[in-house]
Structure 1
Amino acid sequence: MSAEPAGPPGPDPLGGELRKVARVVLLDAQDRILLLHGHEPDDTADDWWFTPGGGVEGDETREEAALRELAEETGITDVELGPVLWQRKCSFPFAGRRWDQDEWYYLARTTGTRTVLAAAGLTELERRSVAGARWWTCRELTEAHETVYPTRLAELLRTLLDEGPPARPKVLDTEIV
């Protein structure tokens, strides 16, 4: 596995300790991206789409966390993790608390395209807040009216598909919701 690239320079704009998160930009053979559909645990109308991933646990690397989270949330294990594409700091309310995160987005590809995912490793909170998953084309993502995180994902995906992975991870704007 590759070494972790250096994080963005400068002070933490969110203040305090950031949760280390690894996310996966999973593409299939048709260049569709897999997104999970999430919502507030007690309000299914407050919903959004997001990439698989989650927090680093114990002494695991971000790469290990990315693969573990992908397997837990989707059942997909037949991937090879690629480079870090993007890094972003974000802060958002969810399930009654504020989450301050330092997220790294890894590229991964799969040859299979499951329509029914085996999300057997979800935590209790995830079982209450993840409603499903779907594969999106770049065009569908561009035309979507749903909330998607990171907010510029359609543009980022288009650049990735047109130009390939960046030579160094792109640092995205901090998102505070």
Structure 2
Amino acid sequence: MTDQERRAADGGAADVRQASRVILLDPDDRILLLHGFEPERPTETWWFTPGGGLEGTETHEEAARRELAEETGITDAELGPVLWKRRCSFPFDGRRWEQDEWYFLGRTDRTATDTGGQTDLERRSVSGLRWWTVEELSASHETVYPTRLAGLLRTLLDEGPPSAPLALETERA
């Protein structure tokens, strides 16, 4: 167990994990989301963007590319600017995660996915992937993170990327 995991398990403050996420769009402006669940409670589900924590000396962009490849098998995405940044805190797999997330814009022509590179934890907590239109996302009553993703995506598609990353509100679950 790492020091961060030990502090979190003891109820103390955990170090803030640096993470990169990808808003991956296909040629039809559909966004790719993963369907996740709590490993011990598989009926608690949500949708989320590909991404995860930085490893070693990785940059945010390197982590975004690695995570995208591991989780989706997509290696040829064109990464654009950082769209949004947010702080979040959530319980998952028996611990509390404190995370600073950078959301990169990604574009791909490839819609086929391959989950063979997922980690053990991802295999235990991800049930699939799906390409969503902004209309489908807006009409959905399912839990999606970040919680305002449908509106953020609509603005992105209507106005293009912001000139500087937008700071999203902190989310705590």
Compute the displacement of 1:120 (Å). Answer: 1.6
1:168 aligns with 2:161: no
Q: Tell me, what secondary structure is at the counterpart of 1:64?
A: helix
Structure 1 counterpart of 2:144, which letter?
V
SS in 2 for 1:102: strand
1:16 CA displacement: 5.4
Aligned equivalents of 1:16 and 1:170: distance in 2? Answer: 25
The two structures have a TM-score, normalised by structure 1, of 0.89
Contact 2:86 2:100 in 1 (8 A): yes
Listed as ranges, the matches of 1:1-177 within 5 Å are 17-114=15-112, 117-177=113-173
TM-score normalised by L of structure 2 = 0.91
- For residue 32 of structure 1, report the CA deviation from its aligned partner: 0.2
Instruction: Kindly state the Cα deviation for residue 17 of structure 1 after the two structures are TM-superposed.
Output: 2.4
8 A contact 2:14–2:97 mirrored in 1: no
Residue 157 of structure 2 aligns with an amino acid whose one-letter code is L
Segment of structure 1 superposing worse, 117-126 or 67-76: 117-126
- How far apart, in 1, do the equivalents of 2:98 and 2:43 lie? 23
Distance 1:141 1:32 in 2: 10
**Alignment gaps of 5+ in structure 1:** 1-14
Instruction: Determine the structure 1 residue equivalent to 2:8.
Output: none
Q: Give the SS at the match of 2:46.
A: strand
Q: Say if 2:21 and 2:102, in contact at 8 Å, map to a contact too.
A: yes
Aligned length: 161
Distance in 1 of aligned mates of 2:121 and 2:65: 20
Q: Deviations over 1:43-97 (max 9, x none)?
A: 1110000000000000010000000000000000111110000000000000010
How far off its partner does 1:111 sit?
A: 1.1
Deviation digits for residues 127-174 of structure 1 (CA, Å, limit 9, x no counterpart): 100000000000000000100000000000000000000000000000
Separation in 1 of the partners of 2:41 and 2:54? 27
The whole-number CA distance in structure 2 between the counterparts of 1:111 and 1:62 is 23
Whose helix proportion is higher, 1 or 2? 2
Distance 2:81 2:118 in 1: 25
